[in-house]
């Protein structure tokens, strides 16, 4: 449980950055000073994202909706798509996956209409995350693969790295460890090309987590240490503490208790420096576990008591359960049955609370899965209907244009014989005849071009052959019409 907590923490570290107050201030200044709806709308959407990242998604949604209204008013489709994606992401960060999904679907529809490949890839990636977090791994996998496919075609290294990392997370959660390892390693390759230190550190830690699960402990420790060294270069103390805990967990599982204690203490020191209370209590529980295995029950109880008191103060349900369990073990070993009974009662109370919450989440996942699929099908149906209507309107417009062009050409040829009633130079008549035939030729090329594409598969050489055959038919036709016209003029002149 403790390792999984830190593993998940490290999988997503790097997604949430530290507060970027100067950037927030600069965005707010642009919003207050600009009079251009497009600029103001897009800036509000960026503000929505920054507020989400810095821990205020509710306000972010409010700003994002303001930006969405402005981009829609300005008919800024790209800005609208961006706004929809950021609003959906803010809802996702609050666990409102169904509401987020509706915004992502609207964004996806605009991306498809604009043929915005980069936008499509980004939207597919975020829909994958929206499925992944509530545990819908098969659907998450489909969208992650779609995102990866587009990023490969675009040769977008950053997008490739992130899409592969998401695939690794999904495969890891499905216990497909070798596939997860391959995803993380390929992602690492692109992140190294981009020289993104924090992202590289996250990937190294992820790879270490896979090797830990595979029981390849030396490789797990090696990757954890590589991750820690990189985090030290950028001062990421939170990440360093997590990496130290991971190494300590490996040593604990291999009965290297002194080494485990050393790493847990190092992690505790850093957690205390940065004031991470949940991290502090978990480190104290880890240290209690080591002392219990070493047979030093008084110290085991001492650290468990500290963790329990802090967890109760924070009302951190999971850490209360873990620290109460550590207290129960230590009290039982010390023969303090009264305290052991109280600790066991507390552990069971909060453990059952967590289990019931997990069951509720599972029911929610089952229900939301059905709703997700229904909404996806409805969105696809609406999109298909909109495309069908657009195609009907396009065909109707094209048919009308073809009709007018053909009518014009027929009218032109109908007027040519009448020209014989007037004294018009033969050269002018030749030019008029040639122009009419040329227009008719171009009309036929346009009319039959889609059929030729279907027949030839769009191969230029084959299309050229067919077009040449059509052109060759015009030589005798031109001669025939020219002879008729000249004969008519000769009769008139005679």
Q: Write the pLDDT tens digit of every residue in 413-433.
A: 566 555 555 555 656 666 666
Class of domain 16-115: mainly alpha
pLDDT surpasses 90 at 473: no
Mean pLDDT of all residues in 349-375: 55
Q: Which of 1-5, 336-340, 350-354, 489-493 has the highest mean pLDDT?
A: 336-340
Whole-number percent of the chain with pLDDT over 90: 45
Q: Lowest-confidence range among 188-197, 261-270, 461-470?
A: 461-470
What stretch(es) of the chain map to CATH 1.25.40.10?
Answer: 16-115
- pLDDT tens by residue, 144-190: 999 999 999 999 999 999 999 999 999 998 999 999 999 999 999 99
- Residue 279 contacts residue 241 (beta carbons within 8 Å): yes
- With CA atoms as reference, report the closest residue to 219 among 228, 233, 209, 230: 209
pLDDT for the residue 7:
45
Report yes or no: 136 and 372 within 8 Å, Cβ to Cβ: yes
**Residue 237 is encoded by which pair of tokens?**
């103390």
Over residues 245-282, the pLDDT tens digits come to 999 999 999 999 999 999 999 999 999 998 888 889 99
Per-residue pLDDT tens for 81-138?
999 999 999 998 888 888 999 999 999 999 999 999 999 999 999 999 988 887 888 9
Q: What is the C-alpha separation between 38 and 78, in angstroms, rounded?
A: 10
Helix (H) or strand (E) segment spanning residue 87: helix 77-93
- The size of the chain, in residues, is 494
Tokens for 472, please give them: 């060759």
Residue partners of 215: CB distance under 8 A and separation at least 6: none
Q: Phi and psi for 16 in degrees, rounded to 5?
A: -100, 115
Contacts of 86 (CB under 8 A, 6+ apart): 45, 46, 48, 49, 52, 60, 64
pLDDT value of position 278: 83
* pLDDT: which is higher, 209 or 11: 209
The half-sphere exposure of 221 on its side-chain side, counting CA atoms within 13 A, is 14
Confidence of residue 217 (pLDDT cuts 50, 70, 90): very high
If you write DSSP's letter for every residue of 203-226 in order, what string do you get?
A: HHHHHHHHHHHTT-HHHHHHHHHH
The larger pLDDT score, comparing residue 464 to residue 121, is at 121
């Amino acid at each position: 449980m403790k390792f999984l907590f830190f593993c998940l923490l490290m999988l997503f570290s790097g997604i949430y950055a530290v507060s970027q107050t100067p950037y927030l201030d600069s965005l707010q200044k642009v919003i207050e000073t600009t009079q251009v709806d497009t600029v103001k709308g897009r800036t509000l959407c960026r503000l929505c994202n920054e507020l989400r990242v810095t821990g205020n998604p509710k306000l972010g949604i409010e700003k994002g909706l303001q930006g969405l209204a402005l981009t829609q008013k300005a008919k800024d489709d790209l800005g609208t798509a961006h706004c929809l994606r950021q609003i959906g992401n803010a809802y996702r960060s609050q666990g409102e996956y169904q509401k987020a999904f509706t915004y992502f679907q609207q964004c996806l529809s605009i991306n498809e209409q604009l043929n915005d490949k980069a936008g499509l890839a980004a939207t597919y990636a975020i829909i994958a995350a929206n499925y992944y977090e509530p545990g819908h791994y098969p659907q998450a996998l489909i969208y992650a693969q779609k995102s990866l496919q587009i990023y490969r075609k675009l040769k977008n290294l950053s997008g490739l790295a992130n899409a592969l990392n998401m695939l690794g997370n999904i495969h890891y959660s499905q216990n497909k460890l070798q596939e997860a390892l391959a995803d993380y390693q390929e992602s690492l390759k692109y992140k190294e090309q981009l020289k993104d230190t924090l992202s590289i550190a996250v990937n190294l830690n992820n790879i270490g987590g896979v090797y830990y699960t595979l029981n390849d402990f030396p490789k797990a420790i090696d990757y954890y240490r590589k991750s820690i060294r990189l985090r030290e270069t950028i001062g990421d103390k939170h990440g360093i503490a997590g990496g130290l805990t991971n190494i300590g967990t490996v040593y604990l599982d291999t009965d290297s208790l002194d080494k485990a204690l050393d790493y847990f203490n190092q992690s505790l020191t850093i957690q205390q420096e940065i004031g991470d209370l949940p991290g502090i209590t978990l480190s104290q529980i880890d240290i209690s576990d080591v002392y219990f295995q070493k047979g030093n029950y008084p110290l085991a109880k001492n650290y468990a008591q500290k963790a329990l008191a802090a967890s109760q103060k924070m009302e951190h349900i999971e850490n209360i359960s873990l620290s109460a369990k550590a207290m129960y073990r230590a009290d039982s070993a010390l023969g303090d049955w009264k305290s052991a009974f109280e600790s066991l009662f507390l552990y069971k109370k909060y453990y059952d609370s967590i289990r019931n919450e997990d069951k509720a989440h599972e029911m929610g996942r089952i229900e939301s899965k059905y709703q997700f699929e229904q909404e996806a099908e409805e969105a696809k149906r609406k999109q298909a209907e909109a495309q069908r209507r657009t195609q009907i309107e396009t065909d109707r417009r094209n048919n009308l244009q073809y009709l007018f062009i053909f009518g014009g050409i027929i009218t032109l040829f109908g007027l040519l014989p009448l020209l014989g009633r007037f004294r018009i130079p033969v050269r002018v008549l030749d030019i008029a005849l040639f122009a009419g035939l040329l227009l008719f030729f171009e009309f036929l090329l346009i009319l039959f071009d889609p059929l030729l594409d279907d027949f030839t598969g769009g191969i230029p050489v084959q299309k050229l052959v067919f077009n040449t055959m059509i052109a060759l038919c015009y030589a005798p036709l031109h001669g025939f019409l020219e002879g008729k016209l000249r004969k008519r003029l000769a009769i008139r002149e005679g």
